[in-house]
């Protein structure tokens, strides 16, 4: 793998973090898609963690390696070249600033729509575009398979109730490439080793499909508020439960709060496919999952309204609670 050039320190910012890590962390759930019991393992992981690792996923390593190589070349370009891709409003190239509300991190990124050809400022934009399209198509297929297995595990009929939201031509899925450059040792030491690459947050979509290179940094929050590190595995994928799936399961699944800590030695490159429904889709607890006289914990809303609210919030805000408060006012 190509070693990424280290951008100038002044291009980035950092914040300190003082929240504790778990003393005796549990093992990250692993779901083997080749196993007949995988759907039940998936349900258990979604209930207990809102997060799991997927192996035997069927995504060709050729697609993964090709996109990683193209992304590495892109982020190695001078800042002025990368900025030709366009400022993130919200789509395009971003550096340090995450969203419009003051969040910053030791990160640069490329945020793309999945249903439009991106403007790519590289020497070989066609090669980058082909790599993106091949990878996104394969990961979209994997995400649909996972959502249909979730439906099977929850005994939802038809089994495409969740996956059809992604397959819809109007699906609002997005794709993000994050690059976390090596963080200088003096910065790491001055912040007690906890430089934030990407601040704690949940994803507002249905699920997110994450893959990264073999550099550590990703952490998830447990139900007690402690944090555990996720061991990197560049051959596998990690699945985040998003806010929308939490609502659709009436809180049976919980969206996972996660963050990334900067690494002082190696660059971290991650690729995330955020599985979103169409803008007009109404999100509410699925009636088939309501037990007896169980009450809905959430009011119905459209994905457009929730997405707008989520992206106008700070990363660490509890977006669902804030949204319901606004909706009730």
Query: Residues with catalytic annotation?
Result: 268
- Specify the residue for token string 């640069």: 108
β-partners of residue 211 are 271
300: tokens are 């119905």
Residue 90: asked if its preceding bond is cis (omega within 30°), the reply is yes
Q: What is the DSSP letter of 25?
A: P
Q: How far is Cα of residue 256 from the mean position of the Cα atoms in its chain?
A: 10
Neighbours of 280 (CB within 10 A): 10
Cα dihedral sign, 266-97-205-172: negative
Distances from the Cα of 179 to the Cαs of 47, 196, 211, 215, 253, in angstroms? 30, 13, 12, 11, 29
β-partners of residue 92 are 111
């Amino acid at each position: 793998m190509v070693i990424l050039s280290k951008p100038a320190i002044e291009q980035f910012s950092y914040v300190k973090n003082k929240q504790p890590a778990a003393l005796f962390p549990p093992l990250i759930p692993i779901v083997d898609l080749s196993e007949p019991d995988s759907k039940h393992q998936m349900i258990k992981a979604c209930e207990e963690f809102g997060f799991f690792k997927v192996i035997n996923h069927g995504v060709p390593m050729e697609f993964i390696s090709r996109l990683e190589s193209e992304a590495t070349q892109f982020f190695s370009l001078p800042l002025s070249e990368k900025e030709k891709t366009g400022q993130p409003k919200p789509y395009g190239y971003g550096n340090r600033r995450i969203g419009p509300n003051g969040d910053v991190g030791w990160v640069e990124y490329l945020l793309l729509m999945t249903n439009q050809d991106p403007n790519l400022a590289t020497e070989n934009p066609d090669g980058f575009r082909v790599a993106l399209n091949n990878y996104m198509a394969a990961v979209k297929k994997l995400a649909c398979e996972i959502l249909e297995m979730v439906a099977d595990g929850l005994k939802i009929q038809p089994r495409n109730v969740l996956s059809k939201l992604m397959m819809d031509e109007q699906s609002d899925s997005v794709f993000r490439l994050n690059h976390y450059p090596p963080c200088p040792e003096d910065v790491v030491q001055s912040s007690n080793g906890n430089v934030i690459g990407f601040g704690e947050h949940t994803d507002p979509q249905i699920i997110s499909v994450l893959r990264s290179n073999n550099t550590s940094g990703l952490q998830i929050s447990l139900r007690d508020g402690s944090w555990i590190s996720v061991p990197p595995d560049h051959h596998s994928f990690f699945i985040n439960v998003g806010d929308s799936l939490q609502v659709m399961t009436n809180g049976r699944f919980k969206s996972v709060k996660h963050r990334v800590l900067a690494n002082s030695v190696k660059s971290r490159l991650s690729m995330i496919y955020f599985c979103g429904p169409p803008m007009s889709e109404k999100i509410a607890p699925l009636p088939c999952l309501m037990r007896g006289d169980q009450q809905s914990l959430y009011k119905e809303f459209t994905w457009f309204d929730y997405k707008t609210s989520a992206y106008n919030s700070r990363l660490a805000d509890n977006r669902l609670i804030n949204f319901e408060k606004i909706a009730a006012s």
